[in-house]
């Protein structure tokens, strides 16, 4: 049983006691708090409008009914997008000029999980201050419900076609070149909404698609996080079918992972790198990724004569930094591509459309394309701490130990060893007594070594 409350919403496992899991009472409570937050943010209005959409996980229909009914009880009109990707719902908020949006998805978490992801009137995730205010409303249960004459109404609307049309009309998506290339892709949509939206996009681009795990029934056939170890079926099918590319998305379609024509992973860290390389070839400006993402984006950006910036981990932090510096592209190393001239959210649809545009213009294979980019390997580890230890004090001591190196402390501690082109990033968990340690270097052994070195340093403290 688990219930995690954060500034971006609430997530947890289905079944259990209120306050300890993602139960109907918790769904109603946090939806009510969100409604109060929206009313305070939007000011006094005759009608309020909220867009609601969900991925295909098994608990989605149950949660959707509760959320929509609660919003109605709070006097809010609901535009129900039904089964829709996270980026589709984000864009729908602006399409409808709504006051906000709720996405029912636990992203890459297993089927036992679900979540409320909460959006503002721009279709973007709440910032820290807004999230804290909403959590305060929920904790105090400071909300009430409207009388019978002012109940909200529900309408249903499918925004997938409009999302796809927006992607196709993006000036950097070369639809003609993609169509002429005669690409064949194998798609693994982990039996969620990607099985609906991605084939429609490929059809519109003239791409032949071979579907596996594309029945949107929420019964994930493997771990839904699109990592290489979970995509062995996809890799085998790409080779068997002689396909151009393998494409994997997570349950809510905001992350994009690719498999080369030879069955090897392109690397989810390199999804953003390749797409940014393509964007920067015609559109100049800064790029942004989070501190735990590959250095390769910085290398590609600087090779194009542009500036790279790093943000704290988390999509909302990446978006804030992108806005601050006027980035032309940004995202996260988990396969999340953000194109600000489409919308400020990770979006696998624009990600794959731009990648296919790059592949078409390059007239090469995915494996050959990958060789163009700086080679880095990443190690991801953790160290479990005894209860009661002061994690901030440990991180401060690590900073002092490596004071001669470049240190960034906007989110934990990142140490960059510039001459050796390697780095290590330490972040404390907000829910567990652990420190997560990410390291990157040109060779896997070097990345593992620097991560182990930091772990040993912590143990001595």
Active centre residues (catalytic)? 107
Give residues with Cβ within 8 angstroms of 111, minimum separation 6: 57, 58, 218, 219, 220, 224
Give dist(CA 322, CA 324) in Å, integer.
5
67: tokens are 């959320």
Give dist(CA 291, CA 298) in Å, integer.
11
Give dist(CA 50, CA 68) in Å, integer.
9
Q: State the residue for tokens 């501690």.
A: 413
Q: What DSSP letter does each residue of 88-106 carry, written as one string? A: HHHHHHHHTT-SEEEEE--
Query: In terms of Cα–Cα distance, which of 157, 54, 43 is closest to 96?
Result: 157
Exposure letters 228-255 (e unless 16+ CB within 10 A, then b):
bebbebbbebbbeeebbbbbbbbbbbbb
CB 210 within 8 A of CB 186: yes
Collapsed DSSP state (helix, strand, coil) of residue 350: helix
β-strands 287-290, 154-156: how paired? Answer: unpaired
CB 180 within 8 A of CB 103: no
CB 148 within 8 A of CB 69: no
Q: What are the E-state strand segments in 283-372?
A: 287-290, 308-311, 329-332, 336-338
Which residues does residue 423 pair with via DSSP β-bridges, in sequence order?
416, 440
Collapsed DSSP state (helix, strand, coil) of residue 413: strand
Query: In terms of Cα–Cα distance, which of 415, 355, 427 is closest to 178?
Result: 355
Give residues with Cβ within 8 angstroms of 22, minimum separation 6: 3, 10, 11, 12, 13, 14, 59, 63, 113, 114, 115
């Amino acid at each position: 049983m688990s219930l995690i409350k954060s500034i971006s919403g609430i997530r947890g496992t289905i079944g259990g006691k209120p306050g300890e899991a993602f139960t109907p009472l918790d769904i109603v409570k946090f939806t009510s708090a969100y409604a109060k937050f929206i009313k305070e943010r939007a000011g006094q209005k005759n009608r309020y409008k909220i867009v609601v959409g969900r991925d295909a996980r098994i608990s989605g229909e149950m949660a959707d009914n509760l959320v929509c009914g609660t919003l109605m009880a709070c006097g809010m009109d609901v535009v129900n997008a039904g089964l829709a990707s996270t980026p589709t719902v984000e864009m729908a908020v602006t399409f409808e000029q709504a006051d906000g949006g709720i996405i029912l998805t636990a992203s890459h978490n297993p089927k036992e999980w679900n979540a409320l992801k909460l959006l503002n009137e721009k279709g973007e995730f709440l910032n820290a201050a807004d999230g804290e205010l909403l959590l305060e409303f929920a904790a105090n249960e400071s909300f009430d419900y409207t009388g019978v004459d002012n109940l909200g109404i529900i309408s249903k609307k499918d925004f997938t076609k409009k999302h796809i049309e927006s992607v196709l009309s993006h000036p950097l998506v070369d639809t003609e070149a993609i169509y002429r290339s005669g690409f064949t892709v194998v798609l693994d949509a982990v039996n969620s909404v990607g099985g609906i939206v991605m084939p429609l996009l490929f059809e519109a681009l003239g791409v032949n698609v071979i579907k596996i795990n594309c029945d949107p029934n929420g019964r994930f056939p493997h771990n839904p996080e699109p990592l290489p170890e979970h995509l062995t079926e996809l890799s085998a099918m790409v080779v068997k079918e002689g396909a151009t590319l393998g494409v994997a998305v997570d349950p809510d379609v905001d992350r994009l992972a690719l498999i080369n024509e030879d069955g090897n992973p392109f690397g989810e860290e390199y999804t953003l790198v390749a797409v940014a390389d393509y964007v920067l070839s015609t559109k100049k400006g800064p790029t942004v990724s989070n501190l735990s993402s590959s250095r390769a984006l910085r290398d590609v950006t600087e090779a194009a004569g542009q500036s790279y910036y790093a943000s704290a981990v988390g999509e909302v932090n990446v978006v804030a930094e992108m806005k601050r510096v006027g980035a032309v592209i940004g995202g996260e190393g988990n396969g999340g591509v953000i194109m600000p001239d489409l919308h400020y959210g990770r979006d696998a649809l624009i990600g794959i459309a731009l990648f296919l545009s790059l592949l078409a213009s390059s007239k090469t294979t995915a494996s050959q394309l990958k060789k163009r980019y700086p080679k880095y390997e990443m190690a991801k580890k953790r160290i479990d701490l005894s209860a009661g230890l002061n994690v901030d004090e440990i991180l401060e001591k690590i900073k002092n130990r490596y004071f001669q190196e470049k240190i960034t402390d906007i989110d934990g501690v990142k140490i960059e060893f510039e001459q050796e082109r390697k780095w290590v990033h330490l972040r404390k968990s907000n829910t567990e007594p652990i420190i997560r340690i990410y390291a990157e270097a040109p060779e896997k052994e070097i990345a593992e070594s620097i991560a182990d070195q930091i772990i040993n340093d912590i143990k001595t403290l």
